[in-house]
Structure 1
Amino acid sequence: MGATAGDIDNDGNIDLYIANMYSKAGTRVIGNVCPGTYPEPIMATMRQFVAGSQLWRNKGNLEFEPLGKEYGVAAVGWAWGAALVDLDNDGWLDLYATAGFVSQSRSEPDG
């Protein structure tokens, strides 16, 4: 739904944050599709639609490493957009992402 780029680890390489939808309900629905109903490439694409946002660290060798789950920025509801900016003036970029609908209980955030 949106993307931003910046050097999150100050190594001189431009990293990426892709804002996307995360939905436990969507994950459950896709998980209930009978095996063999669609070819695996189609299923892989469908799973990506609800996998959430992703932070990609540029390793500097034309490869990117996914860090979204590790950094806790993947399952953030329906992220609409994001910005990388040094909000606290400490020399490190901070991630600011707008999000809307969250398909989980507020009283039980782990599901």
Structure 2
Amino acid sequence: MAHALADFNADGRLDLLMIGMPSATVDRLEHLGLRRPYSAEDSLRRPAMTFGNRLYLGRASGGFEQTALNDSIARSGWSWGCSAFDFDNDGFPDVYIANGLESRQSVRDYESEFWLHDIFVDETIDDVAATSYLMGKFSRTRGSGWSYGGYEKNRLYLNQRGESFVE
């Protein structure tokens, strides 16, 4: 993952953009309230693990806080890299985000299978067996041409005077 430091709201304080990745599968599971009864703790962590990007604005009193400005840039895809620069020369830093993990021969994507099944494997078998299972699974899916977070586009977000971002 990546980070970018810039004054995104032009208040004279440095702000922090932390790049993450959302999951449409986790969004569906959360919306439907679907959880495995024996793994409630892990299920409660799913939304935090797949929130996406987080933009923290510097506070006058020190530290950082997440504000509504975050909402327009949070869900950019399976994000890996970012850069902040003033693309349109309006005095506000814009953001370019590089996305995608593995685009293979097929658009069939392993991510849904991971969140629906494989994340729970380590709860049912010991660590060595879980590692062996997952390594074998990765080898089989990649060998069959499956993607993992694949075929995603990079994104440029234009800063709208520190109030929101538009793609």
Alignment of 1:42-81 (within 5 A): 42-66=42-66, 67-69=69-71, 72-81=72-81
Runs of 4+, deviation exceeding 6 Å = none
Determine what percentage of the aligned residue pairs are the same residue.
30
Q: Name the counterpart of 2:94.
A: 94
Q: Does 2:34 correspond to 1:32?
A: yes
Q: Supply the distance in 1 between the matched residues of 2:39 and 2:76 (Cα, whole angstroms).
A: 29
Q: Name the counterpart of 1:105.
A: none
What is the deviation of 1:55? 1.3
- Amino acid corresponding to residue 36 of structure 2 in structure 1: C
CA 1:35–1:57 in structure 2 vs 1: closer, same or farther (change >3 Å)? Answer: farther
What is the deviation of 1:85? 0.6
What is the deviation of 1:44? 4.8
What is the deviation of 1:48? 1.6
- Amino acid corresponding to residue 75 of structure 1 in structure 2: R
The 3-state SS of whatever aligns with 1:37 is helix
What is the deviation of 1:43? 4.6
Q: Does 2:15 correspond to 1:15?
A: yes
Q: CA RMSD in A?
A: 2.3
> Under a length normalisation based on structure 1, what TM-score does the superposition of the two structures give?
0.72
Q: Supply the distance in 1 between the matched residues of 2:99 and 2:17 (Cα, whole angstroms).
A: 14
Rg larger in structure: 2
What is the deviation of 1:12? 1.4
Q: Name the counterpart of 1:107.
A: none
Deviates more, 1:17-26 or 1:93-102: 93-102
Q: Supply the distance in 1 between the matched residues of 2:44 and 2:85 (Cα, whole angstroms).
A: 32
More strand by share: 1
What is the deviation of 1:52? 0.8
Gaps of 5+ in 1: 103-111
Q: Supply the distance in 1 between the matched residues of 2:97 and 2:91 (Cα, whole angstroms).
A: 19
Gaps of 5+ in 2: 101-148, 151-167
The 3-state SS of whatever aligns with 1:27 is helix
